[in-house]
Amino acid sequence: MLMLEFADVSKKYKVNSWILRHISATMKVGLFTIIGPNGAGKTTLLRLLAGILEPSSGKVLLNGQDISQDYSQYKQRLGYLPQEFGFYPEMTGREFLHYMARLKGIPSSLYPCRVKEVAHCVGVTNFLDRKVGGWSVGLKQRLGIAQAVLNDPDILILDEPMVGLDPEEKLFFWNYFFRLSRNRIVIFSSNILGDFITFSDGVLLLVKGEIRFYGCIQELIDLIVGKVWIVHVPVEMVPLLAKTWAISGIHSTDTLCQIRIVSDTLPDILGVEPGEPRVEDAYTYLVR
């Protein structure tokens, strides 16, 4: 059984400058999303799971074995897309994928077949013989995803893979990642709650280097049952309400705004009514 675990992991870059503090979680086969505000430690955690960084304390374990004990073997089972991925602009897409295949230790006899397969899966087949320097941002992101899955990894780690993709492309890759995750561990980060995270088997929320929540989407939403309130107010009242209440959503009309408030108690605002909880409400409640 495939199981990736980080146990009591902490990471600091300077004395008393902690990026992550004593976090623990276990991930099995499935699709997992790491969310949280900027600076929460999402990229650092993914780099630790990918073995690029070493924990200041604690361990990252694959099937109970510390990945640092045989990182070369772990790397063969890993696919990784960093947040900022560099390309050689004078290479064609095909040359780049052949180059990455060689770095990943894939036998040269398998290059053509595997490159053709992943290029088709991510939709870059028609661009393979063009120099990467001329590719659009979205196509480069697709190429980055292609190199990450080139070695058919057991563990796929993607740092904000939806950046540069339009809504249709995002839906395509969500479906693609979901299919991949049925027999492997797929982990990615996102700053956008609307990135179809309801498809995830597990959601991990990081805030200031600590885990505020880890579980399924329904468990996240259940945390705020009875804590969501809706009120319609004039536009000019919104800034004033924002100083007092945690606002998770605003929908404007010509003269009024529908405000979603997350609060343990009934807000003392004329016309307020209970609302159905959403992911955005739970995020606001836990991050505030």
At the topology level, CATH places domain 3-216 in Rossmann fold (3.40.50)
Average pLDDT score over residue span 78-91: 92
Lowest mean pLDDT among 30-39, 65-74, 170-179, 193-202: 193-202
Note the pLDDT of residue 140. Answer: 93
Domains in the chain: boundaries: 3-216, 223-287
| Banded model confidence at residue 195, pLDDT cuts 50, 70, 90 | low
Note the pLDDT of residue 269. Answer: 93
Note the pLDDT of residue 196. Answer: 66
pLDDT by residue (tens digit) across 218-232? 999 999 999 999 999
- What is the 3 state secondary structure string of the chain? CCEEEEEEEEEEEECCEEEEEEEEEEEECEEEEEECCCCCCHHHHHHHHCCCCCCCEEEEEECCEEHHHHHHHHHHCEEEECCCCCCCCCCEHHHHHHHHHHHCCCCHHHHHHHHHHHHHHHCCHHHCCCEHHHCCHHHHHHHHHHHHHCCCCCEEEEECCCCCCCHHHHHHHHHHHHHHCCCCEEEEEECCCCCCHHHCCEEEEEECCEEEEEECHHHHHHCCCCCEEEEEEEHHHHHHHHHHCEEEEEEECCCEEEEEEECCCCCCCCCCEECCCCHHHHHHHHHC
Average pLDDT score over residue span 261-288: 95
pTM: 0.93
Note the pLDDT of residue 90. Answer: 95
Inform me whether the pLDDT recorded for 194 exceeds 80: no
Give the percent of the chain with pLDDT over 90.
Answer: 83
